[in-house]
Structure 1
Amino acid sequence: TLGAVVSQAQLLRPESGEAALLFEGDQVLVVTEDQDALVDRDTVPSILDALDLSSLTSVGGLLTNLEVSQLSAAPNLNNIEAPVGDYLVKRLSPTGGGLTSTPNLLNLLQGEFAVRFDESSRDALWRRTLGIAALWFLAIIGGLSVQGIWLENQTNQLDTKNFATYQELFPRDSVPVTATQLQRRLANKISSTPETDNNLSMVDLMLRTTNALGSSSELQSLRFRAKQMELTAEVLITNFEELEAIKERSQTMGIAVEVSDASAEQNRVRARLIGTYL
């Protein structure tokens, strides 16, 4: 094929004053005694005209009459209608002269001179794409693992603070073992404790307010005003958008939570919330 330009040129090396043309598609391999070039078909007449040729051999195609008329001196034309590949094979065969008649030829079709093709660019692209996808997958898995560990740690810290707050409110009770047990005890105290109405209202309002805060909020302090039936809570939340989410959750729990004050503190937000019954 014309992809092996050097090999074909060596096989076709003509004598002095002669040239050979190999036609294949829109390109032509022009071979002379000491040089060769793969050119476009429309540039062949100008190249041949610059050479002092007495004989011209064409393989796999013919010069048109128009192309021949563009030559200042018309050489002897020898047209070989066989395909280029068949003609080259014949040149290599013993009946076609082989390599013995041209001792200066090099066989570039085998050994260390064999044509080597690089790996397909498409295969390389797929391998690169799969490699990048694998790295992204590992990064995502690692990120999810770190996030899970962080969330678990935050949950444990919140549970510890909730248990400590329960023990402060009810020092005579034993400390609950699980968060579910803590919620159940608070619910029982709301429904059955023989305390005054104010105490009942305080515990109920506190439970509803803390549930409205969500798991990502960190309760700092609580203050209950019995006359106003109002609970003031100071909390740390993730961002200012969480304030709206707290308001929406409080409506579903039968209380109204208003923001008294909110300010950024390092990478979190400190807010003072006031909870009242609807």
Structure 2
Amino acid sequence: MSYRLYVRPLPPFADPDTTPDAQLYSWVLLDASGDAQARGTADRKEDIEQTLAQNDLENVLLVGLIPGEEALFCVADIPAKQTRFVHQALPYAVEEQIAQDIEGVHLALGNRTDKGFRVAAVDHYRMAEWAAMFSGWEHLKLEAIYPDAGLLPITEGGWSICLDGETAMLASKEGEWLSVQALNLTMFAQTLALPPSEEVVAEVPVTVYGTEQEFERQQADLAELKSSGRLTVTEKTLELMPLELLAHAHHHHLCQPINLCQGEYSTRTRKTSALGPWKPLIAVASVWFVIQIGVEVGMGFYHQQKADQTNEQAMALYRQAFPNDTRTQAGNVRRVVEGQLRQLQADGPDAGFITLMKYTGEQYSKIPDPGSVMFNSVNYSSNRGELAVDVRADSYNKLSALRNGLTNQGLKAEIGSVVNESDGARGRLTVSGG
């Protein structure tokens, strides 16, 4: 049978660095059915651990509750749906709602509502203290840390209030929570009287939880709530401590709390010992990764050399066509040729060398395995308007494909002086305007 232990530290809070053993807790142990099997109102950590040991309970799930005022409720209106993008945009979406530097705040993401994502914001330093307080307990495994007010059972269409000594915990239907001084409860009467939505609501239901002693103590404040005219106040008497109400609501899913154990405080990331059995596999993967990096670097050098050779061949052809152009280099030859092409594009197929070379180059790029086709020399006769290319290929079919492609573009293309050799064919491609 699985058990869950709900632990709530009692003020004044002990210094975690000097007197951590002086901290007292109220706690309740629930079984799988949600029934309380043990409880305590002001016990030390060692006393709780001893109780579990005496009952032979191991791997009990620990749920830590911190004061509601420690965590600020925010709403993040983020249109993204993928969790990765939501987490990236989260700090920017709530930055204006937080009074301190966003870099010093831990953000925990809740469920999505019509208004956006519910978010809990906690100071990083304080969150580290709370995480340390609830970690390392014997016989217990930390499952979650919640703001205590976030575990109040939700009142449909209104608010829930729990009287807890000098403090009053509040939670709304939208999942918003806050903790206030009980003496200031009536100050929130006007806020509570506002409907939780844009609908016209005659009355707002409010459920107040507390012991008989709490109701007697807060009788005047409750009377003022009831006399506000917009609130329908229902009192529910607690026989035991408020912690059991919170544990009951959480076990039976009557609330919408936000688990603060996310990101660097996630209970999953804290289980470093679980990597032990995987260390040999991690070592092999690391070696493979290094080898793969070496292969990729080697291939990079190889392709760079090939690219340099291609650039040299391209520049050799360009020098043959423009021997007097000394400013064009491999890095800007494409831009220079494109500029010349744009300038002469309007002149049509009979424009001259640039246009003929453009169409010839386009058909060359369309040949399967263009590396098997090589231009040995390029000559142009301005008098005849004719481009002559000595070309070599591994088969005559590729020479024919080059000629046919130019013909389909409306140009006149012929192949002459064809010589078939053992390793291919060579010939003279003559191109002129159609």
Q: Fold-level match, TM-score > 0.5? A: no
TM-score with structure 2 setting the length: 0.25
Between Structure 1 and Structure 2, whose CA radius of gyration is higher?
1
